[in-house]
Amino acid sequence: DAASAFARETYEPALRAHLDGTLSAEMRASVLQDLSRLTGLPESAIGEDLYIDERSYAKAALQARGLEIGMYDSRYTLPLANSGGDPVADDPAMTRYVPGFVAAFHQMIRNDLNVSLGRPYASIRWRELLFGWNWTRAGVAEGQSYATDLAWAMRRNPDLRVLVASGYYDLVTTPADARASIAAARLPEDRVSFTDYASGHMLYLGGTSEAFSADLRAFLEK
């Protein structure tokens, strides 16, 4: 569509030109205008380098209305004020999902499995746990994409195929980011399939679950 074409053909080259110091004032003004129109952000909210990270966008998109949009599903909003600061537990979408997940888990544990936990079940401990997580891997270059690991595996196994499923409203792992990672790792194009849905981060929630299930079954049956 128009937004994807703009991102590939105009925006990405403009970002590279800015880094190289070759972006003209005229081109920057033109890109800024289109970027504002497509994202809904005022031009004043977009920095000199034209770069917009997802989390900043989630906070700025509806700032004039005092709202923050969900990273895990941008169709959900919560007030910007009084957030606890946890990027997951306080996410506008996750605050809607998680109570249902936890309630169902407790019911299954208690009624179906007859298990007593003896302590509260902590469904999300992002700030206490993952903020301090060591993501380095032995024998792997720092910052290496996991897509590169996948490329190695596909080279070793010619029968390995990959299905990349994305949600249009997911700001954590956007469809464009997924495609860029796959392209950068140079996975065999003939063994990679892409499917996109009108969904957030979790494709199996809501009205897209049946379409996702059907696509997954078709992929496995090939």
111-130 pLDDT, tens digit per residue, is 999 999 888 888 877 777 77
Task: Assess whether 27 and 87 both reside in one domain.
Answer: no
Confidence label for 159 from pLDDT (cuts 50, 70 and 90): very high
Say whether pTM exceeds 0.85: yes
- Please indicate, yes or no, if residue 139 is contained in any of the structural domains: no
Task: Assess whether 187 and 149 both reside in one domain.
Answer: yes
pLDDT of amino acid 85: 82
Consecutive H or E run containing 197: strand 192-197
Single-letter amino acid code for the residue at 126: W
Give the domain range for residue 32: 2-52
Backbone angles phi, psi at 215, to 5 degrees: -65, -40
What's the whole-number average pLDDT of the chain?
92
Q: Count structural domains, the chain.
A: 3
Tokens of 8: 């590939």
Beta bridge partners of 196: 166
- Please indicate, yes or no, if residue 82 is contained in any of the structural domains: yes
- Please indicate, yes or no, if residue 62 is contained in any of the structural domains: no
Task: Assess whether 128 and 178 both reside in one domain.
Answer: no
pLDDT of amino acid 138: 86
CB–CB of 70/76 below 8 Å?
Answer: yes
pLDDT of amino acid 215: 97
Task: Assess whether 36 and 91 both reside in one domain.
Answer: no
Cα separation of 84 and 90, whole Å?
Answer: 6
What whole-number percentage of the chain has pLDDT above 90? Answer: 77
